[in-house]
Amino acid sequence: MPIADFEPVIGLEVHAQLLTQTKIFCGCSTSFGQEPNTQVCPVCLGLPGSLPSLNRTAVEFAVRAGKALGCRIQDRSVFSRKNYFYPDLPKGYQISQFELPICLGGEVTVPLDGGGTKSFALTRIHLEEDAGKNVHGEGGSEVDLNRAGTPLIEIVGEPVLRSADEASEYLKALRLVLVYLGVNDGNLEEGSFRCDANVSVRKRGADKLGTRVELKNINSFRFIRQAIDFEIARQVELLESGGRVVQETRLFDNEKGVTRSMRSKEEANDYRYFPEPDLPPLVLTREFIDSVKLPAWLPLTAAAELEKNGVPAADARTISADQALVTLAFDVLAEIRKADPAADAKWTANALLGELARALNDKAIDLAHPKFTAAQVAEVSALQAKGTISSTAARTVLAELFRTGASPAQIVADKGLAQVSDTGALEAVVDAILAKNPSQIESYKAGKKNLLAFFVGQAMKELKGKGNPAELNKLLKAKLGE
């Protein structure tokens, strides 16, 4: 039976570290990369007699995420102890939320390549603390508890994804929303945004779910696709050969591109959840919930507004992938349209996705602290619109502006980029070009109108690229009898 006869069923659990300065139940720093076990205290070490105290900002961030994703914010939620034993869990339990999470429902909306969107339902979002980290080396294994107690939200999706590509796009869309909200930095390499995938397969048309396998802690969009695709193929092959899928936890080996067994979950873990006795129920007033505000733009609304302003759909989607780029795009458009309300937004998109993108890729600029202003970018647009510089020269000016912040007019003067628009100077060049090419003139008059580009090109070559193309076209047509 071919793989096409089976349907994958995928649900994702995303752990997103909240961008608080301190941990969720104590005042220890959450900064990354410090010396092992230097950001700890009796609370996050789980020492007897220590008591947790809830971080208000972590609660605000969880509510903000819930609002952005369309969840129902619970006015009452409860922390629970999730009991299990692992070296990086100092207390022998993790403080999490179980029966009564802070957010219920919601959805992640994903833009589609062909236009439009598709939404995938969420089950819940809950607050919890992170564990420490096991560090494995040649001399054995050690435990770093700097991360223990770092605040997380776990975003649990319904099992509604049907392919590895859908899962990858879902994660990209979710990550971008959290970054826009300022609640997560989206850093997969440092583990502040990581994912567990629950994968099963069933015969197409069947209602009953297959046996679920959990793929743990995958920290790359490419790896999530590879891991899920491998796991789907592995499970289908097992079923086709008469075997059965075992409920278990598996890890993805990104070097070999395979999943391998980590531990059996033939029987579901009994975490013996019970309410955390050292923390009262979390009660949120309507005033508190209403006080948590969303940013002016989220990725999809930003892309839609850019399109509304005339930015092509594909460009709008690319720009919306970077919050700083969105802000700059709107600022530049506003500056350009002060002078010309009907200005084409395509120029702005080209400037940001062309020369600015190149400068960013070359690490020549830092968009968080740019040397240039939106008004200066608009000035380049105005210079091109007036015919002072060509489109090619405009790109040169933009490249220099983004890197140095120098005045566009000064860049034009220093680099000698101003177009030649003087009719007398242009006419002399045109006359010389026509005198050298009598046979091309005859061909043009015989109907080969595309030779006009040849004449313009020859004139531009003579003028070292500084001729005004519009003026050259007008002069040539007049002299060629049009």
Domain ranges of the chain: 3-291, 299-415, 423-479
The token pair at 423 is 């009719």
Q: Are 252 and 63 in contact (CB under 8 A)?
A: no
Provide Rg for the chain, Cα atoms. 30
Q: Which amino acid is at 62?
A: A
pLDDT at 461: 81
CB 198 within 8 A of CB 158: no
- Indicate the burial class of 251 (C-beta count within 10 angstroms; 0-12, 13-18, 19 or more): middle
Cβ neighbours of residue 180 closer than 8 Å, sequence gap 6 or more: 68, 295, 297, 298, 299, 323
Residue 2 has what pLDDT?
59
Structure tokens at 292: 């948590």
Predicted structure pTM score: 0.88
Below-70 pLDDT ranges, the chain: 1-2, 265-269, 420-423, 425, 465, 482
**Pick from 343, 352, 292: nearest CA to 320:** 352
Q: What is the pLDDT of residue 420?
A: 64
d(CA 367, CA 376): 15
pLDDT attached to residue 421: 62
What is the per-residue pLDDT for 214?
95
Tell me the C-alpha distance between 220 and 171, whole Å: 10
- Which two structure tokens, joined as six digits, stand for 385? 């619109």
Amino acid identity, position 24:
I
Q: Residue 360 has which token pair?
A: 């960013």
Q: Which residues contact 22 (CB under 8 A, 6 or more apart)?
A: 28, 29, 30, 55
The reported pLDDT for the residue numbered 62 is: 98
The bridge status of strand 103-104 relative to strand 117-129 is: antiparallel
Give the tens place of pLDDT for each residue, 430-470: 778 888 888 787 777 777 888 778 877 887 787 776 777 77
At 265 the pLDDT is 62
- pLDDT at site 422: 58
CB 25 within 8 A of CB 52: yes
CATH of range 423-479; options 3.40.50.880, 1.10.10.410, 1.20.58.390, 1.20.1730.10: 1.10.10.410
Dist CA 198 CA 161 (whole Å): 10
- Write the DSSP assignment of 173-211 as a string of letters: HHHHHHHHHTS----TTTTSEEEEEEEEEEETT--S---
**Please, what sign has the CA dihedral across residues 246, 235, 158, 255?**
positive
Mind listing the pLDDT tens digit for each residue in 325-334? 999 999 999 9
According to DSSP, residue 5 is labeled: G
